[in-house]
Structure 1
Amino acid sequence: MEGLSMLQKATQETPVILMPNHKSYLDFLVISYILFTYDIPVPVIAAGIRLAEMKMVGEIFRRSGAFFIRRAIGSDKLYWAVLSEYVKTIVRTGYAPMEFYVEGLRSRTLKSLTPKLGMMHMVLEPFFKSEVFDITLVPISISYDRVLEESLLAHELLGVPKPKETTTSLLKSTKVLQEDYGAMHVNFGRPISVRQMCEGKINRCQYNLTPRDLPQKPTEEAQACVSWLAHLVVRVQDEGSVISPWSLMACMLLQAPITALTEEGLLWHQLTGKTLWLRKLVLDCGARLNWPAQTPDSDVMSSAVALHRSVVHQKAGRVYLVQEEEPARRHPISPQERVMRTASAVLMLASYRNQSLHVFVRPALVATALHITESTQRDELFAFYCFLQELFSYEFVSIPGELSQDFEEACSHLKKCGAAHISQQEVTPSAGGMETLLFLRALIQPFIDSYQVMLRYLCEEGDQVLTEKQFLAAVRSLATRLILSGELDTYEALSSDTQKNLLLALRRLEAVTKSRASEENEFNVNKAAVRTIGDVLSGKIPPQMLQTTPDARL
């Protein structure tokens, strides 16, 4: 209620921008409903153009204040100018809050996505040009015990095309609502004053040198400020998220061997014992945990498993992964199809693990650096930590320019939970902290294994020039072969989001460049640079070699 009270006050003083995370199609309906219930102006919502094509539904959204935008604007300057002016007019007048998703897309992995900056630039420009005194950003954290689209998201990650949004499909999906999806938690964060946050970061006087009506390309200073603010909003969204008991159980389930989940079953008392241990660790890290205090712990965890019966089931004191039922068919299921069915269940489980990943990711990266470098020197660990943050920059969102601060915070968490001793020169694992360090490393290991598979493909099997579509199909084929041969046990390597994130990271590291001449989404691969990155990730060479290898161009 405190967040809503602050929001209500802010709407009377400055233009307000509502910035929820985006995990489900229900997100924008929920925000409007809550604001209407508490007599706060219903927001104007930036929605995807596909929703406008839905009969009746699109018109209802439009009359409710939504406006529809293209997913990609490209080089259409007229469209950009019209959209930009429309958004800035809403901000300048401030007659209603405006709502948009800073991540740009719905997260298919339930992790926070790297923010898109186009809409953020439009929203902040009236402040940069002194057309408004201040703008208030309100981060909103929406958490689900169970996501409505869990199965759909897993199939999309495995390459199944996303079904088109239609009114007919909406009506057909109403039977899904007959199931139990648990609770939804909506946390309205403390309002952020753009004026206060931008103080000392941007010189607004430069905008007075050009007439306001003329379009201006954002300066590097403005771009850096917008990027910093957008990443800060995502961080606040993460910190405001509520973690469910099921998310902790998913963390522990995914650290068990895959055969234990699919064949032997994981002992219930082992799972519950580890989950209770993890609960203490989460609370030590200061996270928001929805664990009913008046209910016995065993009942809380049994209820979580019952709610997620589409992912796991309990039988004879053991927990098993639920796999899709085999339809009636003449021919037996192929090994490749069996891998995909297991992968679908694993990716659903991983999405719920991802809901609590933001709590552990920075300490986990330090724990990983300790293991791979086999060093305790702070400067060496920090260098490897920076490398991991750069490589996984599209997996785990970090605030630009705050790597050192994040590293210190991670070390502080390790010290607080008794996993490491911290001095000015060293980070030393403690005798009683090995269980914590092993858990943290295991959280990051699926991402490392997945990236190693993709780097291996680019170095050994991939062409020097390839399209994104070719890359995704080839990596999925390679990962499937490695899983069947027993060389790989990480089904998350089959996720298209993970594969795309690596390509984006390699472009950022200049190991892969996008071909401008080609009409297709073609990439030129610098195999020497990719090989160097793989060697650093496996600990063969220090991250400093990325700067000294001539062929790497990093």
Structure 2
Amino acid sequence: MIRGEENNTCCSCMGHGATGMNMICLLFRYLCLIISDGFFDILEERRRSSDLSHAFRTFNPQPFCGATPISAAALNRMVLESQYLSYIIQEIMVECDESREALLEEASALLDEMSQNLQLGFIRLLGFALSKVFKSVFSSIHVNEDGLTRLQQAIQEYPVILMPNHRSYVDFLVLSYIMFTYDLSIPVIAAGIPLMGMKLIGEIFRRSGAFFIRRAIGSDKLYWAVLSEYVRTIVRTGYAPLEFYVEGLRSRTLKSLTPKLGMMHMVLEPFFKGEVFDISLVPISISYERVLEESLLAHELLGVPKPKETTGALLKARTVLKEDYGCMHVCFGNPVSVRDLVKGNINRRQYNLVPRDLPMKPSKETQEFVSGLAHMIIRLQERNVVLSAWNLMAVVLLQNLLGIDLDLLTHKTLWLRRLALRFGAHLRWPSKDVYYQVIVVIYTVVQAVLHLHG
């Protein structure tokens, strides 16, 4: 008899719409390009060879062909010296009766707080540490290599925006690790400002490409101007691939959230204004058998306040390194061309009426397009999620909270497997030895959640 230890919360599926027939047709076109590539376990090589050699090997990624290499400090200077920021500061001077020098100093302080300082040495350090951690907690990390080949080509042609789903704090770490492993340009990553406050860890993240954003900007006009110009400058110059979570927050239920549109508007504006020829959006689906924060998420769903992110809390949580969190799949979707999607949806001539350096409120047409595009990206993320045996078993167990016979659990899970395959789901589960797979999951992956009796 199998019995669940505690109740789980489940939320209903969320529908996502898109505006305009062209958007809908393009959505179906991209859905037809569902990833069917084989997956490769990147930890297999790490278990056979030296982690130190891997971290300190020659790293020579191919950059965006239109990019001129610049330092993080030079990027910041471009932001502070931009006509856009100068215009906003002039407006604030009139509205608030503050001096230009004081506002420039404040803008510089905001940029120092926010900006990344990507350095290869810290990427190597993180690569070495993550090799050790990932081998300890995951049985495998599977990546679709054909997706990475397409990503490499996209990075060389146009500015690239990486758009993963957000289920765990591990998400951005594993993506940077994969990019480093495959000699791809390391992305700069939009991260929540609480991570910056973690002693030592926050600085490691900053020097590994993270830039930190306040959760509540509100009506702070100067902060919004500095952030938006910083993001646009990264895209405009092709400084590095830019990574952000379109959902905004980490999903507590592991289901998709309604997208946040602020960052979407920022990354797309250089294209709308004709500053770049095209932008490639890359939906990324990260699938876990178990997330490292599962206990934390369960407590948050029960109403327990989220603990503050601190280095001390991270050290206390090191016991998670002793558990087996099963397999992870990272699926890089087909790059989505913004230029293709805009055709027939937005008249970009409206942006010619205002100088590029001046702010322009997006039209209703643009807002609807950006919203539809954000929902489309989430749909593409969902379509390439990989389900494990435990994912299907959990569905059955949620209908039998008092317990279920092992043979019946196996029978129902197998039926659910056939149903999922019929509807086109991607499954990580061998066709044979179904009963054996159920036992393996119970004894290796979910011991903390299930108990076997009799």
What do the CA deviations read for 1:496-515 (whole angstroms, capped 9, x no partner)?
Answer: xxxxxxxxxxxxxxxxxxxx
User: How far does residue 31 in structure 1 lie from its aligned partner after superposition?
Assistant: 0.2
1:102-113 counterparts in 2 under 5 A?
Answer: 102-113=246-257
CA distance in 2, matches of 1:302, 1:200: 53
Aligned twin of 1:161: 305
The letter for the 2-side match of 1:291 is W
1:51 is the counterpart of 2:51: no
1:300 is the counterpart of 2:444: no
The letter for the 1-side match of 2:408 is Q
1:132 is the counterpart of 2:276: yes
What do the CA deviations read for 1:314-362 (whole angstroms, capped 9, x no partner)?
Answer: 111xxxxxxxxxxxxxxxxxxxxxxxxxxxxxxxxxxxxxxxxxxxxxx
User: How far does residue 143 in structure 1 lie from its aligned partner after superposition?
Assistant: 0.5
1:313 is the counterpart of 2:448: no
Aligned twin of 1:280: 418
User: How far does residue 250 in structure 1 lie from its aligned partner after superposition?
Assistant: 1.0
CA distance in 1, matches of 2:392, 2:319: 29
User: How far does residue 292 in structure 1 lie from its aligned partner after superposition?
Assistant: 2.2
1:19 is the counterpart of 2:163: yes
TM-score by length of 1: 0.55
Q: 1:76 aligns with which of 205, 220, 239?
A: 220
User: How far does residue 128 in structure 1 lie from its aligned partner after superposition?
Assistant: 0.6
Aligned twin of 2:407: 269
SS of 2:325's equivalent?
Answer: coil
What do the CA deviations read for 1:502-553 (whole angstroms, capped 9, x no partner)?
Answer: xxxxxxxxxxxxxxxxxxxxxxxxxxxxxxxxxxxxxxxxxxxxxxxxxxxx
User: How far does residue 305 in structure 1 lie from its aligned partner after superposition?
Assistant: 1.9
CA distance in 1, matches of 2:384, 2:322: 29
The letter for the 2-side match of 1:242 is V
CA distance in 2, matches of 1:219, 1:302: 56
CA distance in 1, matches of 2:315, 2:299: 21
Aligned twin of 1:96: 240
Q: Segments of 4+ in structure 1 off by > 3 A?
A: none
CA distance in 2, matches of 1:152, 1:175: 13
Aligned twin of 1:443: none
SS of 2:157's equivalent?
Answer: coil
SS of 2:250's equivalent?
Answer: coil
Aligned length: 309
CA distance in 1, matches of 2:208, 2:420: 40
SS of 1:12's equivalent?
Answer: helix
Aligned twin of 2:381: 237
CA distance in 2, matches of 1:115, 1:314: 40
TM-score by length of 2: 0.67
CA distance in 1, matches of 2:237, 2:392: 45
Aligned twin of 2:365: 221
SS of 1:277's equivalent?
Answer: helix
CA distance in 2, matches of 1:53, 1:27: 19
Kindly report the root-mean-square deviation, in angstroms, between the aligned alpha carbons of the 2 structures: 0.9
The letter for the 1-side match of 2:367 is Q
SS of 1:202's equivalent?
Answer: coil
What do the CA deviations read for 1:458-492 (whole angstroms, capped 9, x no partner)?
Answer: xxxxxxxxxxxxxxxxxxxxxxxxxxxxxxxxxxx
1:60 is the counterpart of 2:204: yes
SS of 1:266's equivalent?
Answer: coil
SS of 1:212's equivalent?
Answer: coil
SS of 2:290's equivalent?
Answer: coil
User: How far does residue 309 in structure 1 lie from its aligned partner after superposition?
Assistant: 1.6
CA distance in 2, matches of 1:310, 1:175: 13
CA distance in 2, matches of 1:142, 1:56: 27
What do the CA deviations read for 1:249-301 (whole angstroms, capped 9, x no partner)?
Answer: 11111122x4xx2xxx31111111111111110000011000023x5111111
CA distance in 1, matches of 2:207, 2:414: 48
CA distance in 2, matches of 1:301, 1:76: 53
The letter for the 1-side match of 2:451 is H
CA distance in 2, matches of 1:64, 1:122: 22
User: How far does residue 171 in structure 1 lie from its aligned partner after superposition?
Assistant: 1.6
SS of 1:18's equivalent?
Answer: strand
User: How far does residue 198 in structure 1 lie from its aligned partner after superposition?
Assistant: 1.4
CA distance in 1, matches of 2:435, 2:280: 43
Q: 1:199 aligns with which of 343, 351, 374?
A: 343
User: How far does residue 302 in structure 1 lie from its aligned partner after superposition?
Assistant: 1.2
Aligned twin of 2:334: 190
How high is the sequence identity, in percent, across the aligned residues? 69
What do the CA deviations read for 1:413-436 (whole angstroms, capped 9, x no partner)?
Answer: xxxxxxxxxxxxxxxxxxxxxxxx
CA distance in 1, matches of 2:440, 2:341: 43
Bigger RCO of structures 1 and 2 (CA < 8 A, at least 6 apart) = 2
1:477-488 counterparts in 2 under 5 A?
Answer: none
SS of 1:19's equivalent?
Answer: strand
SS of 1:313's equivalent?
Answer: strand
User: How far does residue 95 in structure 1 lie from its aligned partner after superposition?
Assistant: 2.3
SS of 1:310's equivalent?
Answer: coil
SS of 1:32's equivalent?
Answer: helix
CA distance in 2, matches of 1:72, 1:218: 21
CA distance in 1, matches of 2:428, 2:374: 27
